[in-house]
């Protein structure tokens, strides 16, 4: 059964800092991995999707990497801004069984102005 | 496109009442997911459909929960009878194949 863990659970950084969020998954045979952002009281917004054959994806100040062999993904945020404050979640559906997106518990990020 | 549309956005109901949550996925998407989010358990997948067919409902808590997808543009999640422990945010999401997953804004359910 796929289990997804995110560390740290919460993070507070000053504006402008580069930061890394971590995501670990137990079943390395995955279709893909997605990173999402959730603002308070809102739904989730997909940020990046990495296919199983890819090593990384970039979108603006965001870069996500995937290492299936170690069961890890990282989300790198460059030059953080207060508007980046949100909860970040990762999800990875394993190739075994049905196509179920299993979510981590998230990292709550606060960027201080 | 308007994105995934859910209704109602907020619902307060009394224990024992029937609750119906509705979802309109993004046009053309062939996967539809229902999730429940609580502080204690995080995001839990309840059920998902592929081409309107339920594929995995192993996350549905019990027989009080049921979901249907009568056509490609509409799905419902029904709770009957509702209980206070069902209070949560229920999200509907859709995707085209195994691509980006798009979430609705959620239905905030409170059972008193």
Q: In whole numbers, what is the pLDDT of chain A averaged over residues?
A: 93
Three-state SS letters, A62-95: EEEEEEHHHCEEEEEECCCCHHHCEEEEEECCEC
pLDDT, position A41: 87
Nearest CA in chain B to A49: B100
The per-residue pLDDT for range A82-98, each reduced to its tens digit, is 999 999 999 998 887 78
**Percent above pLDDT 90 for chain A:** 80
Q: How far apart are CA B110 and CA B112, in angstroms?
A: 6
* Chain B residues within an 8 Å CB radius of A102: 45
Tens of pLDDT, residue by residue, chain B (112 residues)? 689 999 999 999 999 999 999 999 999 999 999 999 999 999 999 999 999 999 999 999 889 999 999 999 999 999 999 999 999 999 999 999 989 999 999 999 999 9
Q: Which of A43, A46, A97 sits opposite B105 (nearest CB)?
A: A43
Q: A33 to each of A24, A90, B28, B59, B107, how far by Cα in Å?
A: 11, 7, 22, 20, 25
Mean pLDDT of A25-51: 93
**Cβ–Cβ gap A99/B98 under 8 Å:** yes
Look at B50 and A31 and tell me if their CB atoms are within 8 Å: no
Query: Who has greater pLDDT, B106 or A28?
Result: B106
Considering only CB atoms, B33 lies closest to which of A34, A45, A101, namely: A101
- Identify whether the C-beta of residue B12 lies closer than 8 Å to the C-beta of residue B112: yes
Distance from CA of B72 to the nearest CA of A (A): 18
Residue matched to tokens 């890890």? A72
A34 to B106: CB separation less than 8 angstroms, yes or no: no
Find all residues with CB under 8 Å of B81, minimum gap 6, and list them.
Answer: B15, B16, B17, B18, B64
Question: Is A75:A64 a contact under the CB 8 Å cutoff?
Answer: yes
Cβ pairs A/B, distance under 8 A: 51
pLDDT of res. B98: 87
CA B37 remoteness from chain centre: 10
Q: What is the pLDDT of residue A94?
A: 83
B84 DSSP assignment = G
């Amino acid at each position: 059964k796929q289990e997804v863990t995110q560390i740290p659970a919460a993070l507070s950084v000053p504006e402008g800092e580069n930061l890394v969020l971590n995501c670990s998954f137990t079943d390395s045979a995955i279709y893909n991995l997605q990173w999402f952002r959730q603002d308070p009281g809102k739904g989730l917004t997909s940020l990046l999707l990495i296919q199983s054959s890819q090593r990384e994806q970039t979108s603006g100040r965001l870069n996500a990497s995937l290492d299936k062999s170690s069961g890890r993904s990282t989300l790198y945020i460059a030059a953080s801004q207060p508007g980046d404050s949100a909860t970040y979640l990762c999800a990875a559906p394993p190739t075994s069984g049905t196509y179920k997106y299993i979510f981590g518990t998230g990292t709550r990020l606060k960027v201080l102005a | 496109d308007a994105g995934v549309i859910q209704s109602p956005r907020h619902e307060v109901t009394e224990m024992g009442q029937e609750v119906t949550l509705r979802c309109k996925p993004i046009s053309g998407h062939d996967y539809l997911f229902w999730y429940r989010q609580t502080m204690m358990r995080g995001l839990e997948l309840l059920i998902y459909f592929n081409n309107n067919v339920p594929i995995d409902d192993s996350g549905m808590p019990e027989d009080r929960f049921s979901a249907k997808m009568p056509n490609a543009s509409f799905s419902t999640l029904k709770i009957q009878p509702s209980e206070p422990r069902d209070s949560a945010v229920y999200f509907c999401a859709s995707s085209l194949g195994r691509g980006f997953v798009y979430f609705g804004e959620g239905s905030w359910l409170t059972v008193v």
